[in-house]
């Protein structure tokens, strides 16, 4: 593969990484899979670079690695944020059904909070 063709493929991969970054920052997670598949196909084509072309494109290859690293950090942060949101929602659901209190000795005791139906009298 010529360095010029490699440069065009690199440009396309960098553009796709920029789109992925925008998707991550905008919370458009449903579009990430399609973008990742397209980027994967471009990277597969880059694997055909010969040593001379790779040497000529080394700075641009480093830019590609850097962009992929930044996107990886954003993706990890998004996953961590989603996990934190799930934990918070679970805590809120638990708070609706549990009534923390203490026994006569001062030890914490979880009691089930009465629901609206349980609190009504006939």
> What digits encode the pLDDT tens for the residues 49-60?
888 888 888 888
Q: How far apart are CA 62 and CA 9, in angstroms?
A: 14
CA nearest neighbour of 66 among 78, 58, 76: 58
Mean pLDDT of 73-96: 91
Structure-block tokens of residue 43: 């990277």
Q: How far apart are CA 55 and CA 57, in angstroms?
A: 5
> Which pLDDT band holds residue 120 (cuts at 50, 70, 90)?
low
Mean pLDDT of 32-54: 84
> Which pLDDT band holds residue 121 (cuts at 50, 70, 90)?
low
Mean pLDDT of 30-38: 87
Residue 118 has pLDDT above 70, yes or no: no
Kindly list the domain boundaries of the chain, sorted by start residue: 3-118
Structure-block tokens of residue 77: 């942060």
CB 1 within 8 A of CB 48: yes
Quote the pLDDT of residue 113.
Answer: 61
Q: How far apart are CA 92 and CA 75, in angstroms?
A: 26
- Of the listed ranges 67-71, 92-96, 98-102, 110-114, the least confidently predicted one is 110-114
The pair phi, psi for residue 115, each rounded to 5°, is -85, 170
> Which pLDDT band holds residue 19 (cuts at 50, 70, 90)?
very high
């Amino acid at each position: 593969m010529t360095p010029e063709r490699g440069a065009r493929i690199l440009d396309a991969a960098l553009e796709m990484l920029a789109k992925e970054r925008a998707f991550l920052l905008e919370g458009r997670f449903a579009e990430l899979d399609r973008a990742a598949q397209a980027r994967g196909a471009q990277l597969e084509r880059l694997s055909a670079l010969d040593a001379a072309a790779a040497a000529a494109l080394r700075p641009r290859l480093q830019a590609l690695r850097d962009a992929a690293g930044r996107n990886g950090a954003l993706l990890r942060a998004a996953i961590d944020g989603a996990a934190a949101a799930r934990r918070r929602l679970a805590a809120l659901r638990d708070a609706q059904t549990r009534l923390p209190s203490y026994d006569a000795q001062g030890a914490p005791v979880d009691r089930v909070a009465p629901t609206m139906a349980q609190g009504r009298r006939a």
